[in-house]
Amino acid sequence: MEETVARLKGQGLLDEGAFARFWREGRETSSPRSRRLIELELRRKGIDPELAREAVQDLDEEDLALRAAVKKAKSLKGLDEEAFRKRMLAYLQRLGFSWELARRTLLKLNEAASPDVDD
């Protein structure tokens, strides 16, 4: 088994770094999660902890949280303000974002949705 793994690595067919980058890009674009959660997913898939850490080190958590929130907001449309707030905060925390980042993201969503009243 070890010989097979070594041979595959030698042929460039088994590349943990490439897989980690691929996984990270998928999470960034289609299913945003926190840096910590993406790193944990990679480690659970058997990726070396240092490679997993390197793969996520330059992710922008603010951007990831906002992407996740915008996506989730569509499914929460129609809820009253309090229910929306509670569900969105809980959702972002389940994705691994801190409470503080979830709160800031919710404020950004509210600012984006509020029409300017300077007229």
Residue that wins the pLDDT comparison between 2 and 53: 53
Question: How many beta carbons lie within 10 A of that of residue 1, not counting itself?
Answer: 5
Whether 80 shows a pLDDT value over 60: the answer reads: yes
Percent of the chain with pLDDT over 70: 89
Of 36, 29, 89, the residue nearest 61 (C-alpha): 36
Return the pLDDT at 1: 77
Task: Give the domain ranges of the chain.
Answer: 2-56, 61-113
Range 26-53 average pLDDT:
94
Reported confidence tier of residue 119, pLDDT bands at 50, 70, 90:
very low
> Could you name the CATH architecture of 2-56?
Orthogonal Bundle (1.10)
Residue that wins the pLDDT comparison between 29 and 118: 29
Q: Which of 7-16, 30-39, 61-70, 102-111 has the lowest mean pLDDT?
A: 7-16
Whether 54 shows a pLDDT value over 70: the answer reads: yes
Nearest-10 Cα torsion for 16, 18, 19, 22: 160
Q: How far apart are CA 97 and CA 46, in angstroms?
A: 23
Question: Which residues, 6 or more positions from 43, have their beta carbon under 8 angstroms from its beta carbon?
Answer: 49, 52
